[in-house]
Structure 1
Amino acid sequence: MKLFVFGLGFTGRRFAERARGRFSTIVGTVTEPAAAARVAAETGFTMRAFGPDADDASIAADLADSDALLVSAPPGAAGDPVLPRYADAIAASRIGWIGYLSTIGVYGDQGGAWIDETTPAAPRSERSTVRVRAEEAWCALGARSGKAVQVFRLSGIYGPGRNPIVKVREGRSQRIVKKGQVFNRIHVDDIATTLLASLDRPRPGAIYNVTDDEPTPPQTVIEHAAALANLPPPPEVDFETADLSPMARSFYGENKRVRNRLIREELGVTLAYPTYREGLAALAGDAV
Structure 2
Amino acid sequence: MTGPRLFCFGLGYSALALADRLLPQGWRVAGTTRAQEKAQALAARGIETFLFDRGRPLADPSRALAGTTHVLSAVPPDRDGDPVLDRHGGDLAGPGLAWAGYLSTTGVYGDHDGGWVDEATPRVPTGARGRARLAAEDGWLELWRRHGVPVHLFRLPGIYGPGRSAIDALRAGTARRIDKPGQVFSRIHVEDIARVLEASMARPNPGADYNVCDDEAGPGHEVVAHAARLLGVEPPPLVPFEAADLSPMAASFYADSKRVRNDRIKRELGVRLAYPTYRDGLAAQLSAERGAHGKREKP
Q: TM-score scaled by structure 2?
A: 0.92
Cα deviation for residue 38 of structure 1 reads 2.7
Query: How far off its partner does 1:287 sit?
Result: 6.3
Distance 1:196 1:5 in 2: 13
- Measured in 2, the distance between the counterparts of 1:64 and 1:88 equals 14
Task: Please tell me whether the aligned partners of residues 64 and 94 of structure 1 are also in contact (alpha carbons under 8 angstroms).
Answer: no
CA contact (8 A) 2:57 2:87 kept: no
Counterpart for residue 249 of structure 2: 247
| Contact 2:113 2:182 (8 Å CA) reproduced | no
Answer yes or no: is the 8 Å Cα contact 1:210–1:263 preserved in 2. Answer: yes
Match of 1:70 in 2: 72
Alignment partners' CA distance in 2, 1:125 and 1:285: 39
Which residue does the alignment assign to 1:32? 35
Unaligned runs of 5+ in 2: 291-299
CA contact (8 A) 1:161 1:286 kept: no
Residue pair 1:108, 1:121 contacting (<8 A) in 2 also: yes
Identity of aligned residues (%): 48
- Map residues 5-84 of structure 1 onto 2, 5 A cutoff: 5-41=8-44, 43-84=45-86
User: 74-83 vs 54-63, which deviates more?
Assistant: 54-63
What secondary structure does 2:280 align onto?
helix
2:182 to 177, 180, 183: 180
Tell me whether 82-91 or 217-226 shows the greater mean CA deviation.
Answer: 82-91
**RMSD between superposed Cα atoms in Å:** 1.4
SS at match of 1:65: coil
Runs of 4+ that moved beyond 6 A = none
Offset, 1:23: 4.9
Output one character per residue of 1:7-42: Cα deviation in whole Å (capped at 9) or x when no partner: 00011111111111445321111112332223222x
Q: Distance in 1 between matches of 2:179 and 2:5?
A: 46
- 1:82–1:60 Cα change, 3 Å: farther
> Counterparts in 2 of 1:160-175, with a 5 A limit?
160-175=162-177
Partner amino acid for 1:32? A
Matched residues in 1 for 2:203 and 2:212: separation? Answer: 16
Question: C-alpha deviations, 1:207-254, integer Å up to 9, x for none?
Answer: 100001111111111110001111100011001100211111111110
Kindly provide the amino acid, as one letter, of the partner of residue 111 in structure 1. Answer: D
Length, aligned pairs only = 287
Q: 2:102–2:140: 8 Å Cα contact kept in structure 1?
A: yes
User: Map of 1:111-190 to 2, 5 A cutoff?
Assistant: 111-190=113-192
Provide, for residues 127-170 of structure 1, a one-character-per-residue CA deviation record: whole Å limited to 9, x for no partner. Answer: 11011111110011012222221000001000111100011111
CA contact (8 A) 1:174 1:234 kept: yes
Counterpart AA for 2:40: A
Give the AA of the match of 1:263. I
Q: Check conservation: 2:166, 2:224, Cα contact below 8 A.
A: yes
Q: SS at the partner of 2:218? A: coil
Distance 2:76 2:34 in 1: 12
Q: Specify the code of the residue in structure 1 equivalent to 2:29.
A: I
How far off its partner does 1:285 sit?
4.4
Partner of residue 205, structure 1: 207
Q: CA deviation at 1:95?
A: 1.1
- The 3-state SS of whatever aligns with 1:191 is helix
User: Residue type of the partner of 2:77?
Assistant: P
Question: Equivalent residue for 1:108?
Answer: 110
CA deviation vs aligned residue, 1:65-99 (integer Å, no higher than 9, x gap): 21000011111111101112212211114112000
Q: The residue matched to 2:123 in structure 1 has which SS? A: coil
Equivalent in the alignment of 1:236: 238
**Structure 1 alignment gaps of length 5 or more:** none
